[in-house]
Amino acid sequence: MPATVVITIARQLGSGGSYIGQQVARRLGYAFIDRQILQRAAKELGIEEAEIEGLEGCPQGFGKKLVSVFKVGAPEYIYKPPPPNWASYEQLEEIERRLITELTVKGPCVVLGRGAFHLLRGRARLLNIMVHAPQGFRVERVMSIYHARSKAEAIQMIERSDQYRSRYIRALTGLDWFDTRNYHLTIDTAKLDFATAEEMIASVARRLPADEVWSWVSEPI
């Protein structure tokens, strides 16, 4: 039986990548995988989901135990004392890798973020997407969706998000999050509206050969 299609979507805050991913999944009848990974990882580690978000968002020391929490949209960096059960970055990586693998073998799906483009490398019928947009476009959406009080605050949120996601991907994969060689398709949502982006991704997914593995950058740069 041919491998099922898995679409991974990396996205910049405010680019609309999450929305597009959900719409693609709905259009194709695929599962949409996002917070299920966060919830299951938190349960296995015996810690709060916010702690997992902190590990994903702000890896520090990368081999050390991490006890900080970062939430997109918070005006200041948030620190909490160590939880009863500490979780190391390596533990999180191992658990998320396993959970993503388990969830994606159940059927066709769209996976949002979490370095899935790398964790699923070598899989047949894998389509890796990066959704991005220029700052001005993202600022307007962040002010609307995350209720930033000013353009300055929206820019701060965007810059923090880019910085932390980039660090997370570098720590997880050894790769540059922004390197287009990690992806089969990159979409600028300031140039293509969401509906067009959705249709483009769905169209490519429908045409994926049954067992072909598309090449991509496989070594850290």
Scan for tokens 């810059």, then name that residue: 159
* pLDDT > 70? residue 18: yes
Per-residue pLDDT tens over the stretch 110-157 = 999 988 998 888 888 999 999 999 999 999 999 999 888 999 999 999
**Statement: residue 192 has pLDDT above 90:** yes
122 contact partners, CB below 8 Å, separation of at least 6: 213
- Which domains does the chain possess? 6-44+88-206 (3.40.50.300)
Residues 6+ apart with CB under 8 A from 191: none
Q: What confidence score (pLDDT) does residue 51 get? A: 64
* Nearest Cα to Cα of residue 9 among 185, 166, 207, 146: 185
Give pLDDT, residue 160: 92
Q: Are 12 and 135 in contact (CB under 8 A)?
A: no
Q: Give dist(CA 132, CA 174) in Å, integer.
A: 21
pLDDT bracket for residue 2 (50, 70, 90):
low
At 180-189, the pLDDT tens digits run 999 999 999 9
* Highest mean pLDDT of the ranges 51-65, 124-138, 165-179: 124-138
Model confidence over 92-122: pLDDT tens digits? 778 888 888 888 888 999 999 988 998 888 8
d(CA 57, CA 164): 5
DSSP 27-71: HHT-EEESHHHHHHHHHHHTS-HHHHHHHHH---SSSSEE-EE--
